[in-house]
Amino acid sequence: MSLYGMMRTGVSGMNAQANRLSSVADNIANANTTGYKRSSTEFSSLVIPTAGGNYASGGVTTVVRNAVSQQGDLRFTNSGTDLAINGNGFFIVQDDSGQSFMTRAGAFTPDDQGRLVNAAGFVLMGYSYANGTPSANANGFGGLEPVNVKLNEITASPSRTGIFSATLPASADIVDPDDLPSENGSGAKHTAKSSLLAYDNLGREVLLDVYSTRTGENTWEVAIYNQADAAANTSFPYGQPALATQTLTFDGTTGKLTGTSQTSITLDVPGGASLAIDLSGMKQLGQQYSVSTAKLDGSAPSAIDTVQIGNDGIVYAQYGDGSIKQLYRIPVATVQSPDQLQVLAGNVFAESPLSGTPEVGFPGESSRGSIVSGALESSNVDIAEELTNMIESQRSYTANSKVFQTGADLMDVLVNLKR
């Protein structure tokens, strides 16, 4: 073995231990960083072919590994926008330039624009419910937009769907066709009346009068009027015709709607949207008129009071009037080899040639984990283990330095032989 090779090997060993100490230092520094994944330095020997009985020393090289797939402990907080993933997967976030990354750091808080931003300044991305129930883009990050929860924004939504169920008296008098509410005469007769509260496009209240009238054996007419068009005593005649009418037919034996009967009624709310009311729960029985279900969606102008995030990633806004609306659904991205992801500043990860392509889906689907609201994932660093590694590296570094120092001393002896 040449003295030069001996010294070179000692330098290789010191450099390897220095790399290990660097990863240990990084782990200890980020022991309290949310979602941080510990790094480790793996050693691999370098061998130089030996010839003629002379040993040629090689050295050692290092490779850095990141334990991305190892989950940290969940730590619960008092903030509903603090998020953690219990299981596999990553949040999808975006920087100011619009580039997408993956992260496990879920300490999100609303910024001045209402966007959910984590401690490193990355914006949480999700699918909006603005155009209906969203679906995940399985092979990329397309269709995602920043999750925005403007707590000071006032919104209103028109009534679009509803349910009205009532029990109609089977022994009620049959009303003459000329006296039906749909004829809208001053002497119009009806069997029962209820009112429903709907909302127009601006969130203004619209009262709907619902008249149920027995027109024959097992046959009823349902007519809906705008109460604002009613006479002074909120009854007939109305200034405008009925918004909608529907005929219901019942089975005389069971009291339920027949298979051929209509089961809904659709009308245009004045100043609002088309409203479809489900009537499938209507019954005809030998008792007095009673309403069992009367629900219409829509809401008056109201600001968001609180934001709730479910385990399935759906972001709900609860308004001051108590109504709840779905805003976004947060997806979870997975890769085939998480430990091979490229680690970047800000505790985020990017696709690498060895990690595989990110696949996007919703929490709980396939092997993806669920989202836990009001919790954060701690780093997976074990301080005791890191301190042990630091002591081992320190001793190994010192031993390698002795090898180099010994080689240097022998080199001095060799040089002085000429003198």
- Please provide the DSSP assignment of 256-321 as one string: BBPTTS--EEEEE-TTS-EEEEE-TT-EEESS--EEEEEEE--EEEEEEEEEEE-TT-EEEEEETT
pLDDT at 54 over 80: no
Q: Which residue bears the tokens 């031993």?
A: 399
pLDDT at 202 over 90: yes
Pick the range with the lowest mean pLDDT from 135-144, 168-177, 262-271, 326-335. Answer: 135-144
Pick the range with the lowest mean pLDDT from 32-41, 70-79, 147-156. Answer: 147-156
How confident is the model at residue 164, as a pLDDT? 97
For residues 374 and 4, the model is more confident at 374
How confident is the model at residue 299, as a pLDDT? 86
How confident is the model at residue 232, as a pLDDT? 83
Alpha-carbon distance of 419 to 346, in angstroms, equals 60
Confidence of residue 2 (pLDDT cuts 50, 70, 90): confident
How large a percentage of the chain has pLDDT more than 70?
98
How confident is the model at residue 184, as a pLDDT? 85
How confident is the model at residue 419, as a pLDDT? 64
Q: In a 10 Å sphere around its CB, with 0-12 CB exposed, 13-18 middle and 19+ buried, how is residue 286 labelled?
A: exposed
DSSP one-letter code for 73: P
Q: Which helix (H) or strand (E) holds 414?
A: helix 383-416
> DSSP secondary structure string, 162-218?
EEEEEEEETTPPPPPGGGSGGG--TT---SEEEEEEEE-TTS-EEEEEEEEEEEETT
As a whole number, mean pLDDT of residues 382-406 equals: 93
Alpha-carbon distance of 275 to 297, in angstroms, equals 9
How confident is the model at residue 46, as a pLDDT? 82
Per-residue model confidence as pLDDT tens digits over 154-201 = 888 899 999 999 999 999 999 998 889 888 887 889 999 999 999 999
The domains found in the chain, sorted by start residue, are 3-67+380-416 (no CATH), 75-154+304-377 (no CATH), 159-297 (2.60.98.20)
Confidence of residue 101 (pLDDT cuts 50, 70, 90): very high
How large a percentage of the chain has pLDDT more than 90?
72
As a whole number, mean pLDDT of residues 372-381 equals: 95
Q: Which residue bears the tokens 């997976």?
A: 380
Alpha-carbon distance of 348 to 102, in angstroms, equals 6
How confident is the model at residue 51, as a pLDDT? 66
Confidence of residue 52 (pLDDT cuts 50, 70, 90): low
How confident is the model at residue 77, as a pLDDT? 94
Two structure tokens written together for 146:
């920043």
How confident is the model at residue 366, as a pLDDT? 86
Confidence of residue 45 (pLDDT cuts 50, 70, 90): confident
Predicted structure pTM score: 0.71
How confident is the model at residue 336, as a pLDDT? 94
**Bridge partner residues of 319 (DSSP):** 304
pLDDT at 418 over 80: no
**Bridge partner residues of 275 (DSSP):** 267
Average model confidence (pLDDT) across the chain: 91
pLDDT at 1 over 70: no
Per-residue model confidence as pLDDT tens digits over 220-258 = 999 999 999 998 877 889 999 999 999 999 999 999 999
Q: Which of 48-62, 158-172, 399-413 has the highest mean pLDDT?
A: 158-172
Per-residue model confidence as pLDDT tens digits over 310-364 = 999 999 988 877 778 899 999 999 999 999 999 999 999 999 999 999 999 999 9
